[in-house]
Amino acid sequence: MLNSLLKTLYRNAQALIYTSRYEGFGLPTLEPMECQCPVIFRLTSSLSELVGDAASLFEPDSVDGLVNTMEIVVEDSEHRASID
């Protein structure tokens, strides 16, 4: 269960960016999603199967892809609302 400070941080964040190449279950991505914080992570992550369209994905090892995805999440309110 998330503590109140962490919930407040997630709720006020524009996004959580998770660039890990190797992860276990992926709790660091599910917690912010519980607080309606957009999540951005690598396309090849096994987490994409878990969260479906509820997150924004970028191509692995693509700095431009990450930057583009960040811009979309921050600047496109319709996109952000669709992944909340």
Q: What is the architecture, at CATH level 2, of domain 4-83? A: 3-Layer(aba) Sandwich (3.40)
- The DSSP call for residue 53 is G
Other CB atoms within 10 A of residue 59 CB: 14
SS3 16: strand
Residue keyed to tokens 């917690």: 31
Q: What does the angle CA 40 – CA 19 – CA 29 come to, to the nearest 5 degrees?
A: 55
Q: What is the pTM of this model?
A: 0.81
* Largest interatomic CA distance in the chain: 35
Beta-ladder partners of 42: 58
1 pLDDT higher than 70: no
Kindly report, residue by residue over 20-72, the tens digit of the pLDDT: 877 667 778 888 988 989 999 888 767 777 777 778 889 988 999 999 999 99
What are the residue boundaries of the structural domains of the chain, listed by start? Answer: 4-83
Is the four-CA dihedral 30, 60, 54, 47 of positive or negative sign? negative
